[in-house]
Structure 1
């Protein structure tokens, strides 16, 4: 998402952008090198400053002279390691807040997650921001993102720093992992569970748009009073059955829907536990990665309803999706290669 945000800020012509990441130097693909980001890095509209969110000294140096920070850094959600997520997502976010205060940054927009209100037991249907954090979370990622978001919200209007959190739904778009995963599994034509669970997907450019709307709102005196210290769900506002979305992607990739194999949760759940046990005991020592879909936490995400109400973002941030689900899928799959079967 971060690179899409950088590109959007540069396209507006209103920003000079400082990009931070772990790598000692920024690496661009050929398209980026010839495109907007490459040109901006060459003419100074964009600069790269290596920084680790776990190193407050590096962050403080990177934030010098900065007015606004968009904090998008996060540990890999597919790695269910609480120590890792706590270090990066919670302690890292605290470092970001402290560095913002030290450097007199005016506004901090945090990329949170809709998972912060999900307990993995109860489905969520059209919930809004009044939904509290659960007592338990399905994985380390959701728990740490909730803790980090809480830090950001409490930091609002302290030492003149204004903050806001964006809670995206299930993000998709160019550069995501969904299409490569489907391709690597030959366009999997199966459904896990009853296939009725609904999800709220959001195209990556809409997530970017939500961040920019939040920043613009915080930049006004009246807007900061309304939105400072608040969190906002951001989705495409087109909730649909999860597996319908998957099959829309597959069909756009060229896989023709002939039939679906349905795998009951009662069948796949024991297999998941066995794979997790094997992975924790043996397989990880040989560098093998556990299949992303076959984790107990992932089963909770794909088998329960998770839809969110964006009314607050619409009314207070002026948010409105700029790319539809259908168009987003076309853009996402445009450069993917899949067999016509």
Structure 2
């Protein structure tokens, strides 16, 4: 499979760059190389996919399906990925195998294509969470994702967190992504050792600490408020965020009703202070932010009394 003219994201591009380096090294000073291309690795020890799914489920965001939900994916259990490397090493170590495999690329999957959102549902349901059911068209999500990405590009230098909703992520969540392992099967002798069903079972069992019953129940008030930042602020679940909002409200009240400024002057000062607080809130860790915030509150109180 040739490389695309334009990659979906920087991660894919750096993977291709690394693969080119490995391929160029083949045949130099007696070194033999080939490339293994596993698709969508999962399994125990994963620090990205399953933890992210659980975090989304606990925030009430896992109920959404991007697209029509019918896009197929090839997933690869981690043990099968390791076995694919073993097969490649054994093949390159034999004289006849080296003539065939050296300098080539091989796709490694579980060889069991499955709908992407069905796979995610199996993981979520296995951990006791609700499966996704609400479908949102890609045509609706993509413009929003472009706005989010543009905002991040402008404000990343001020401490804005990397967003989850980006155009590249939307494309990955809604595309078909399956590969043929026929070359790996014929030339490397690769066959998956662990089936997709068993791989999902082992993965779910390895994340028992993320089971739904081990997570505190979400209150009706939190659900009513959207179970997001608003709920965290109003219900005092995030003390740093709540105190910041209260302080901003106090500053708004002081500048608009008690200090005697004109409306335009008051708004200008208010916007400046808001920008300052948002910057501090995003940049400073809690252990530094809280003491400085307390000190600032004291200063505001003393100045207002004077």
- Tell me the TM-score normalised to structure 1 length: 0.58
- Out of 182, 185, 202, the residue aligned to residue 311 of structure 1 is 182
CA distance in 2, matches of 1:269, 1:184: 22
Query: 1:243-322 residue pairs with structure 2 within 5 A?
Result: 243-257=117-131, 260-283=133-156, 285-291=158-164, 294-322=165-193
Cα-Cα RMSD: 1.6
What are the residue-to-residue correspondences of 1:56-71 with 2, within 5 Å?
none
Match of 1:334 among 205, 212, 215: 205
Corresponding residue of 1:206: 80
What corresponds to 2:57 in structure 1? 186
Which structure 2 segments of 5+ residues have no match?
218-306
Q: 1:284 to 1:296 in 2, by over 3 A?
A: farther
Q: How does 1:1-341 map to 2 (within 5 A)?
A: 131-176=1-46, 177-186=48-57, 188-257=62-131, 260-283=133-156, 285-291=158-164, 294-336=165-207, 337-339=210-212
1:184 Cα offset (Å): 0.7
Cα displacement string for residues 205-250 of structure 1 (whole angstroms, at most 9, x for unaligned residues): 1000001110111111111111011110000000111001000111
Contact 2:152 2:160 in 1 (8 A): no
1:284 Cα deviation after fit: 5.0
Partner of 1:232, secondary structure, is strand
> 1:269 deviation in Å?
0.9
Distance between the aligned counterparts of 1:266 and 1:306, measured in 2? 19
What is the total number of aligned residue pairs between the two structures?
208
Structure 2 CA distance, aligned partners of 1:311 and 1:328?
21
Query: Within 2, Cα distance between the matches of 1:321 and 1:284?
Result: 44
Q: Secondary structure at the match of 2:44?
A: coil
Q: Which has the higher strand share?
A: 1
- Runs of 4+ in structure 1 deviating by more than 6 angstroms, as ranges, are none
Structure with larger Rg: 2
What whole-Å deviation, never above 9, does each CA across 1:251-283 have from its counterpart, x for those lacking one?
1111244x7111111111111111111111114
Q: How far has the Cα of 1:148 moved from its partner?
A: 2.2
The offset of 1:138, in angstroms, is 1.0
| Distance in structure 1 (CA, Å) of the matches to 2:83 and 2:206 | 23
